[in-house]
């Protein structure tokens, strides 16, 4: 994992090395003052040499100036590197999320995914940008000070540095305690952000059911879990670091006692004792930082696991190495004994579908909800791959098609069309960004949308709001038909395209759809069977199997499920019209 994290540095290796050299130079220079101090105490003052004192002071000034300059350069360079790596990581993560198949999204909550891009990558920031540079400085400081101390006085160095190995063992133990806490914390954050995206998007439902209080309670529980987990960390942390500090201070006490006596006995100069004390004080700062670094490493590890889990997920639906890109598509679809089960359920949703839809034909799919109609339609653009059997387009297995080519020939109009937070024009041209205004208006007219668009304050430049919230259901539907028209696909999938709109818009939409269908292979799913009369062929699905197949007339004559459904709907619409007349 660390190697992977650092592999992000590779493209910038020369900058990484430059900043490393700056760091080494800066650390070394900043460690020189105590040796100057020793010279001041042992040479300049006893000899009363003002000249030497001035020279040493000027050297000290030069050291501070130089180390400040180096520090500015190094901080800038390393932060720039770190930010660049993080930006690339966020980019990789988002690009990979876009590649992943729908089955991945079925099993991951949006909020958890969002928190990985915004939160977890951010957590790694403090590691890559601040901690790694601090680690280099600290390791170097500890090494150089250790070297200076041993060079000066071996017994005193041994006494002074004795607590270091104990601290090292303590940090190893600390690491094991803190990693599970960080893992829990990152999960709790993801959970909170999932909860937020769910309840804020569903705010209308919350309000109409008077559940504001209930949702606040649920939020409090999740919020409290973050608080509790953080407090567990604080508990460990607040005891551990002062404990480490105490150990370091004890060695300083020993140096005072032993070194002080040596100075009294004349076996050690005052300057050397002062220098050793100054170095020791600077030694335990970095040791303390190193233990703290351990803490950040564990937090980074918990986050990196979550980020790499996404990057390591292989899309179920991907281009095969020998994928082909036929340049002409006729739109001839064949299902051969197609079976399909969703990833985490054992029960198959489709249980052996055999079906042929010729170029330009319209197939109507009828059946109770949950029968598998939408699932069948979702297999055509390869949102999911069949579990068994084959689907062919123009006699070529869908899995042999280049995925982008295949999808470029498929249009979908769904029950609840998704519009992006953008202008009407941008939504219309989503699949064809280079369309000019004439093409856009032609599509909007064919979709019966031009009129209402022109009535909007900014016409085609009107923002539709998040998910198109500023438009009515019927208007959104017509935009989505226009969007499909502009894409001009050979195959069209209509999944309950008219079921959530009122009769008036239904008429406008039906007209628009009729224009859209022309010359395209169409798979239409509808509850209102009247909209499927024109279909060349109808199938009735029941628990994943085709139980009836034929034209409207044939199925009416067969006197089966289809006829029963049609009769129920006719009776319902009759009683509805009687009701409205009585009113």
**Residues near ligand ADP, by CB under 6 A:** 106, 342, 345, 349, 367, 369-375
Measured CA distances, 115 to 233, 302, 371, 377 (Å): 20, 13, 35, 32
Cα–Cα dist 401/397, whole Å: 7
Token look-up 């208007």 returns 475
Report in angstroms how near the CB of residue 372 gets to ligand ADP at its nearest: 4
Report in angstroms how near the CB of residue 497 gets to ligand ADP at its nearest: 13
Q: Strands 537-542 and 388-393, how do they pair? A: unpaired
Cα–Cα dist 108/263, whole Å: 69
User: Alpha helix locations (H) across 100-211?
Assistant: 102-107, 110-115, 121-125, 132-152, 154-161, 163-201, 203-208
Is residue 367 within 8 A of residue 373, CB to CB? The reply is: yes
Report in angstroms how near the CB of residue 341 gets to ligand ADP at its nearest: 9
Cα–Cα dist 93/96, whole Å: 5
Cα–Cα dist 68/357, whole Å: 75
Nearest residue (CB) to ligand ADP, 39 versus 373: 373
Cα–Cα dist 173/334, whole Å: 62
**Terminal C-alpha separation, the chain:** 72
Nearest residue (CB) to ligand ADP, 453 versus 526: 526
Report in angstroms how near the CB of residue 187 gets to ligand ADP at its nearest: 23
Nearest residue (CB) to ligand ADP, 80 versus 342: 342
Nearest residue (CB) to ligand ADP, 243 versus 370: 370
Cα–Cα dist 194/186, whole Å: 12
Token look-up 């280099």 returns 136
Cα–Cα dist 117/196, whole Å: 16
Q: Which two tokens stand for residue 498?
A: 């008219």
Cα–Cα dist 28/10, whole Å: 26
Report in angstroms how near the CB of residue 472 gets to ligand ADP at its nearest: 24
Nearest residue (CB) to ligand ADP, 496 versus 506: 496
Report in angstroms how near the CB of residue 373 gets to ligand ADP at its nearest: 3
Q: Which two tokens stand for residue 534?
A: 């024109």
Report in angstroms how near the CB of residue 138 gets to ligand ADP at its nearest: 50
Cα–Cα dist 507/448, whole Å: 10
Nearest residue (CB) to ligand ADP, 106 versus 397: 106
Report in angstroms how near the CB of residue 344 gets to ligand ADP at its nearest: 7
Nearest residue (CB) to ligand ADP, 106 versus 502: 106
Report in angstroms how near the CB of residue 343 gets to ligand ADP at its nearest: 7
Closest CA to 384 of 343, 354, 324, 346: 343
Report in angstroms how near the CB of residue 383 gets to ligand ADP at its nearest: 9
Residue 412 bridge partners (DSSP):
493
CA torsion sign for 565, 567, 570, 575 is negative
DSSP helix, strand, coil percent of the chain (3-state; round to 5): 70, 10, 20
Nearest residue (CB) to ligand ADP, 274 versus 375: 375
Nearest residue (CB) to ligand ADP, 75 versus 543: 543
3 state SS of 191:
helix
Nearest residue (CB) to ligand ADP, 302 versus 378: 378
């Amino acid at each position: 994992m660390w190697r992977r994290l650092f592999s992000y540095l590779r493209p910038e290796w020369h900058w990484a090395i430059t900043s490393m050299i700056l760091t080494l130079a800066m650390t070394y220079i900043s460690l020189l003052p105590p040796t100057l101090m020793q010279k001041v105490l042992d040479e300049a003052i006893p000899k009363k040499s003002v000249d030497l004192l001035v020279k040493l002071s000027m050297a000290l000034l030069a050291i501070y100036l130089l180390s400040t300059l180096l520090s500015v350069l190094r901080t800038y360079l390393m932060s720039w590197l770190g930010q660049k790596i993080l930006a690339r990581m966020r980019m990789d993560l988002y690009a990979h999320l876009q590649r992943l198949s729908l089955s991945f999204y079925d099993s991951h909550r949006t909020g958890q995914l969002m928190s990985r891009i915004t939160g977890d990558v951010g957590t790694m920031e403090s590691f890559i940008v601040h901690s790694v540079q601090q680690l280099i400085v600290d390791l170097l400081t500890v090494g150089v000070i250790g070297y200076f101390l041993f060079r000066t006085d071996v017994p005193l160095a041994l006494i002074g540095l004795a607590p270091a190995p104990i601290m090292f063992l303590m940090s190893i133990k600390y690491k094991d305690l803190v990693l599970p806490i960080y893992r829990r914390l990152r999960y709790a954050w993801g959970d909170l952000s999932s909860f937020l995206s769910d309840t804020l998007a569903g705010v209308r439902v919350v309000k109409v059911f008077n559940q504001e209080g209930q949702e606040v309670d649920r939020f409090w529980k999740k919020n409290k879990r973050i608080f509790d987990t953080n407090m567990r960390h604080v508990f460990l942390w607040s005891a551990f670091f002062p404990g480490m500090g105490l150990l370091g201070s004890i060695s300083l006490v020993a140096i005072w006692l032993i070194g002080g006596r040596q100075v009294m006995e004349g076996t050690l100069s005052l300057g050397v004792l002062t220098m050793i004390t100054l170095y020791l004080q600077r030694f335990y700062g970095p040791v303390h930082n190193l233990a703290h670094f351990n803490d950040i490493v564990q937090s980074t590890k918990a986050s990196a696991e979550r980020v790499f889990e996404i990057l390591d997920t292989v899309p179920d639906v991907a281009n095969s190495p020998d994928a082909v890109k036929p340049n002409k598509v006729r739109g001839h679809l064949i299902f051969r004994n197609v079976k399909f089960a969703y990833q985490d359920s054992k029960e198959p949703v489709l249980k052996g579908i055999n079906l042929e839809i010729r170029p330009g034909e319209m197939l109507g799919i009828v059946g109770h909800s949950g029968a598998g109609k939408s699932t069948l339609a979702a297999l055509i653009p390869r949102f999911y791959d069949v579990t068994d059997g084959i689907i062919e387009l123009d006699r070529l297995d869908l899995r042999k098609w280049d995925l982008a080519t295949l999808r470029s020939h498929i249009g979908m109009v769904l029950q609840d069309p998704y519009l992006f937070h953008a202008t009407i024009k941008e939504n219309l041209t989503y699949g064809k960004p280079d369309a000019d205004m004439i093409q856009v208006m032609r599509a909007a007219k064919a979709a019966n949308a031009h009129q209402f668009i022109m009535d909007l304050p900014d016409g085609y430049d009107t923002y539709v709001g998040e998910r198109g919230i500023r438009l009515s259901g019927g208007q959104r539907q017509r935009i989505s038909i226009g969007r499909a028209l502009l894409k001009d696909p050979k195959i069209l999938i209509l999944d309950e395209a008219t079921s959530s709109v009122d009769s008036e818009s239904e008429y406008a939409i039906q007209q628009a759809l009729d224009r859209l269908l022309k010359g395209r292979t169409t798979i239409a799913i509808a509850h209102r069977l009247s909209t499927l009369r024109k279909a060349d062929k109808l199938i009735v699905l029941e628990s994943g199997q085709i139980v009836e197949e034929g034209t409207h007339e044939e199925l009416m004559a067969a006197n089966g499920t289809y006829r029963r459904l049609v009769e129920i709907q006719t009776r319902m619409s009759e009683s509805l019209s009687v009701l409205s007349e009585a009113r």
